[in-house]
Structure formats: structure tokens, C-alpha cells
Amino acid sequence: MTTKSAWPYALGAAALVAVQIGVLHSLGQPLIAASGRILLWAGDPFSPDTSQHLTDWYSFSHIIHGFIFFWLLKLVAPRLPLPARLLIAMGIEIAWEMTENSPAVIQHYRQQAIAAGYVGDSVLNSLSDTVMMSSGFIFASRVRARIVIGLALVLEIFTACMIRDNLTLNVIGLIAPPIPAIHDWQAGARH
């Protein structure tokens, strides 16, 4: 791809990010953490810093989003150029980020033991989540599928062991009625 042919994709990505920033701001999400600090890593999943800084435990889930979006788009749109598929993946991720930060979804997350104090993402964290997804997408486009699958499993298991949460548990918590065993196990992480 030439630099000239890359411009439409770059402009498309910039437009998507601008929409993400605008919608999150209109939803009342802060640009950065209330503390006024910008941290590279927020490691305490029960801290108000979670989902407010550049990266946290949930950044791993967004990398896995990129893996998933790469393979789904390769399956359903194999003839589209890779940058076009990345733009579609960004659109999906950004749509999720906007949905995740809606009052209804924030309230839904608060019902889960691990996210009792969740207030949504800062704009900075949400943008970082989009970068993490894009990184996962690009990684998946360049590495053998078995390595990508293995890394996804390692990230899921590692995150579950470290904070009793991961992408799989988030999806279950979002679409299924509360499961007492999961709730109790996650609540035990606070002790």
C-alpha cells in the first residue's frame, strides 16, 4: 500500500476516534481520571483508577477483541484489504466503548461483584482500549492462528487467576442472568 492510498484509511480512523471522543464526552465521561494523574498501569481492579488510566487488567480483553475481530472479518470479508477490515474492527470496538459507557450498561456492571464501584471509562482509557484492540488485530494478522489462540487462552487464564475476571466472565455477566457461583467467587477477590 502506498502512502497516498493509506490516507483514506487514516482519515477514516481519525473520524472514528473523533466520534468516540465526542460521544463519550456527551455521556459525561471524564477526559482523564478524577485524580488528574495519567498512569501507564492501574493494577488494583477495585481501585477507582481502574478504567481511568492508559492500561489496566481489562486491556488484555481488548487485545483479545482484536484477535476475534481479525478472524471474524477474515472469515466474512476475506477480499477486503486489511486496512479496511481494521477500520471495521475499530468501528465495532468504538461502538462497544460507547455502549459500555452508557448509563444502562454501567449500572448493569455495578451489579457484578468485581465491578461494584464501576463508573465507566475515562476518554483516555477508552481510546487506549481501542489502541489495544487495534494492536491485537494487527498482531493476529501477522502471526499464526495457533499462537494467537494460545496467547488468548494464556491472557484469559492469567487475568482470571489475577483478578477473578476476564473477557469470558464479562460476556457471561453481560448476557446471562446473575450466576451466584461466579458472583461469590469474584466477591472473594476483595478479601
Convert the pLDDT of each residue in 104-159 to its tens digit.
999 988 887 677 788 999 999 999 999 999 999 999 999 999 999 999 999 999 99
Share of the chain above pLDDT 70, in %: 97
Q: Is the pLDDT of residue 36 over 70?
A: yes
Helix (H) or strand (E) holding 41: strand 41-42
As a whole number, the mean pLDDT across the chain is: 94
pLDDT computed for residue 20 by the predictor: 98
Query: In terms of pLDDT, which residue wins out, 163 or 46?
Result: 163
Q: Specify the DSSP class assigned to residue 48.
A: T
Q: How does residue 88 score in pLDDT terms, banded at 50, 70 and 90?
A: very high
Does residue 3 register a pLDDT over 80?
A: no
As a whole number of angstroms, the distance between CA 160 and CA 100 comes to 20
Give the pLDDT of residue 113.
64
Instruction: Determine the Cα–Cα distance for residues 175 and 3; give it in Å rounded to an integer.
Output: 42
d(CA 167, CA 155): 9
Tell me: pLDDT of 7 over 80.
yes
Determine the pLDDT at residue 188: 82
- Dist. CA 141–CA 84, nearest whole Å: 13
Model pTM score: 0.95
